[in-house]
């Protein structure tokens, strides 16, 4: 469902009830999506992303430690200053 922000302000209670019933609502301004209302247990929420990352770790050859990342950042910054 898509709804304009001005209309969403008027219907917040009903929109929340729809979300609790499983509906995904996109809020728009001038027909451009600006926000989504979804239930907190639906995929795409921050907690589920963390769970997904834990269940799907990077392969060992792609992992870098803090020191290696810090060195790479320092190298890039030095290149900008030249």
pLDDT digits (tens, 9 = 90+) for 4-60: 999 999 999 999 999 888 899 999 999 999 999 988 765 555 567 777 778 888 888
Q: How far apart are CA 20 and CA 82, in angstroms?
A: 55
Q: How far apart are CA 47 and CA 1, in angstroms?
A: 24
pLDDT at 53: 79
Range of the domain at 74: 2-80
Threshold 0.75, pTM exceeds: no
Give the count of domains, the chain.
1
DSSP sequence for 65-81 = -HHHHHHHHHHHHHHHT
Structure tokens at 57: 């770790």
Is 37 in contact with 24 (CB distance < 8 Å)? yes
């Amino acid at each position: 469902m898509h709804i304009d922000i001005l209309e969403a302000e008027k219907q917040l209670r009903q929109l929340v009830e729809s979300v609790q019933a499983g509906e995904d609502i996109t809020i728009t301004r001038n027909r451009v999506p600006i926000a989504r209302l979804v239930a907190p247990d639906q995929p795409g929420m921050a907690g589920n992303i963390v769970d997904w990352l834990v269940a799907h770790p990077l392969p060992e050859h792609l992992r870098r430690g803090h020191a290696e990342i810090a060195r790479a950042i320092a190298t890039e910054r030095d290149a900008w200053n030249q």
